[in-house]
Structure formats: C-alpha cells, structure tokens
Amino acid sequence: MFQPLGTKIQSDGILELEFSKTKLEQFVRVIPKASCAVLQVMVFNFELDGEHCELIKVNDMEIPLNLTDFPRAKLMLKTTQKGARALIIALGISYLSEGIPNDDKRYYGCQISHAWHLQDGVEVEFVTLVEEKIEVVEKVGGISWEMG
C-alpha cells in the first residue's frame, strides 16, 4: 500500500476510515499477472481494564488493476469508546489472478496502520513517563557523578 489510510475518531464512537482518490499506481503496487488487488482491514478495540473486546472484520475490497485511478473509498464503523481502550487498525493486501489467489508470498503484506490509547473516546498517551529521582551521594575526597 502506497496510499495512507485517513482516519478520524468522532466523539459519538464512529471511526471514519478513508482512502483518497489517487492514481492507481500511487495506491497499490501493480504486479505481474495479477488482475486484482485485495485490500483487507481489521479493527481491534480492546478494553484495557476488563475483558471486553470488539473485532470488526471489514469486507475485503477488490481493486481491479486495469483502472487508471483509484476512485476513493470511505467507511464508517461504530466502536465502543467507554473506559480505557486500545483501538488498532491492521491492513493486509494480496492479489488475484483472474479470480484465483496469487500464491507468490512476495506479494502478500500486512501492517498495523494505526494504534490509539483512548480514555472515554479521548486519545491519551500509551505510556506515562515517570521521571526517576536518583539520590546523589558524595564520597569524602572526590566529586560524584550526577545520574539521570
């Protein structure tokens, strides 16, 4: 995937995903003998202080490789945002040759494209940095290093 996935988390729990209109070769790689690219999207929404999780499987998007332009694609997903949550989006891509999956593993790909730590729908830091305090002890007859 060359085109980044646009995302927006709305206050009502709607997760908006969008790929902008662009030239096809700027959206996906066109590979030999492939007739279609298959884009897969999974959304994982985990409750961090409990056991609830949502696994949202989006229907695969088949993109014919004979197009000049990728037209644009938009998707709205309802997600739970109450409490402390980790919201993760994973993208996968594979190819078809005349409707048959391409077996060449060089052309399979997957990545995590977005990850958020949410508290009641508001993005917060994943990790709060704690400043360590180090006690400096001076020894008689010399100067000690200050650590930290």
CA 58/CA 70 separation, integer angstroms:
19
The tally of domains found in the chain comes to: 1
Identify whether 78 is part of a domain: yes
Question: What is the pLDDT at residue 115?
Answer: 95
Q: Which CATH number is 56's domain given?
A: 2.60.40
Identify whether 140 is part of a domain: no
Mean pLDDT (whole number) for 97-111? 88
Asked if pLDDT for residue 43 goes beyond 60, the answer is yes
Which range marks the domain in which residue 109 is found? Answer: 6-124
Question: What is the pLDDT at residue 127?
Answer: 75
CA 99/CA 86 separation, integer angstroms:
36
Q: In what order do the strands lie in the sheet with 14-19?
A: 6-9, 14-19, 73-78
Give the model confidence (pLDDT) of 71-88 as tens digits: 999 999 999 989 999 999
